[in-house]
Chain A
Amino acid sequence: MHATFDLDRPANLAAAFALLKSEGAAALAGGTNLIVDMRAGRERPQRVVSLDRLEALRGIRQTGGQVSIGGRTTVTDLLLSPVIAKTAPALVESARLFAGQMVRNTATVAGNIACGSPAADLVPPLFALDAKLTLVSARGRRTRPIDSFFTGYKTDIRRPTELISRISWKAPTSRSCALFYKLARRKGDAITVVGVAVALDVDRGLCTRARVALGAVAPTVIHAREAEAILEGRPLTPELIDSAAESASAAARPIDDIRASAAYRRHGVRVLVRRLVTQAWERLA
């Protein structure tokens, strides 16, 4: 590689925090974003702090109704875990459509979040789960909802000395359904054109909770808040679903790029929100 930097493999969090304090330090997890960016000259850290020995950032746990996964959980770990299959089916779908095998084997959940890309595929399903991020540093820990983590295109509230240690969510009840759809140029190893995650809770014929999260159509992954409000507290009808889909499409702020036009992305949002909300509602009916 043309870039030059120092590399350390701290054996515990305290050592990692000390290294992350130094000028131009960057955390290295799976490396599937960072190494590509360093080779292309987009990132030039002076010190790379590999997280590969930090066992504190690993492990998938469920205690009662609470699920917690370590930041270093890989995409393949998600696919192999019965806890994830049961409590986060939309995340599994997203993991299944993620990159190719070798990248899935190393790419981590925290790396996907921290890279800050609006096209990061694991993020919309985590929005739909109301997931929380635990950020740790030498100064302590704080927990933030994932939807308040991002502040703009590839910017977020994380301090350079902080690590995402865990991602957690409440296990959904049997009266809920979560779905994810990745629209891309092909099924295998492609960057998302539109990603939509939908989660509904239904109780006595009413939609009691609705989440509609959109990927790759704004500077960050976003909630379609108005669409969620349209759906909540009502029995869903095709007309209501149509208007939620319309509202989600209006909430998107997509751009034209080599993969698709903004107009196509808006259309994609409308079609996919309508389709996923309808499917989720029918499954719960």
Chain B
Amino acid sequence: MPKTKVLAKGKATAAARDRSIALRVNGRIVEVRTPPHRTLLEALRDAGFVEVKRGCEKGDCGACAVLVDGIAVDACLTMAWTAEGREIVTAAGLGSREAMHPLQRAFVERGAIQCGYCTPGLIVAAQSLLAKTPDPSEDDIRHGLSGNLCRCTGYAKVFEAIRDAASEMRGARRRR
């Protein structure tokens, strides 16, 4: 049963006001003009961040995951306007071609990528997991990836990649 009054399609009375919002993505400010009913996924892809993938658009697949203030969220279940003032990082923003993030490198080296559609979301989810749990058990990794679907890899190599990256990241932390 709907909680809000159901209106005939297209009869929304509140005029959608387009507005320019400033999103902080991968360390730089991006101006996006967008109405209030656009999701962060739509706004980011419109702005060229196409590494954020559009999958199910209902929270099931995790392909759209981005970090918001360091925590992985589904961009398809986040409204663009509510992301204003927050720090957004996409999978591509974690590292660069020259200085790859340990997760990015481990996914490549372990062959944890096949078609690649799920990969940005998996890397974002893994980063969010490792930030809280630097030495994850098998169960922790399962729990951390429970919102990501991959139709290709069977996950085994994904798990290996995350374990590799985690140990590299722990080593880097110790050296610091």
Contacts and interface: CB of A to CB of B under 8 A. Distances in A.
A6 interface: yes
Interface of A: 1, 3-7, 9, 23-26, 28, 30-32, 35-37, 39-48, 50, 52, 76, 80, 96, 99-106, 114, 116, 153-155, 188-189
Interface stretch (B23-31, B56-64, B111-119, B156-164): B56-64
A70 B71 CA distance: 19
A46 B8 CA distance: 11
29 contacts: A1-B42, A4-B37, A5-B14, A5-B36, A6-B36, A7-B36, A7-B37, A24-B14, A28-B79, A28-B82, A31-B77, A36-B59, A36-B77, A40-B58, A44-B2, A46-B14, A48-B36, A50-B81, A50-B82, A100-B145, A100-B147, A100-B148, A102-B62, A102-B65, A102-B73, A102-B125, A153-B1, A154-B3, A189-B60
A155 B3 CA distance: 8
Q: List the 6 closest A-B pairs by CB distance, nearest first.
A: A100-B147, A7-B36, A6-B14, A188-B146, A100-B146, A45-B4
B158 to A, nearest CB: 14
Contacts of B13: 23-24, 46
Interface string B120-133: 00000100110010
B142 interface: yes
Chain B interface helix/strand/loop/mixed: loop
A31 to B, nearest CB: 5
B58 A36 contact: yes
A50 B9 CA distance: 23
A34 to B, nearest CB: 8
Given A7-B37, A26-B3, 9 more contacts: A4-B35, A4-B37, A7-B79, A26-B4, A28-B79, A31-B77, A43-B3, A44-B5, A102-B125
Interface residues of B, number: 47
Nearest to A80: B132
Contacts of B81: 7, 9, 50
Contacts of A48: 36, 79
Interface string B30-72: 0000011111001000000000000001111010010000011
A23 B59 CA distance: 28
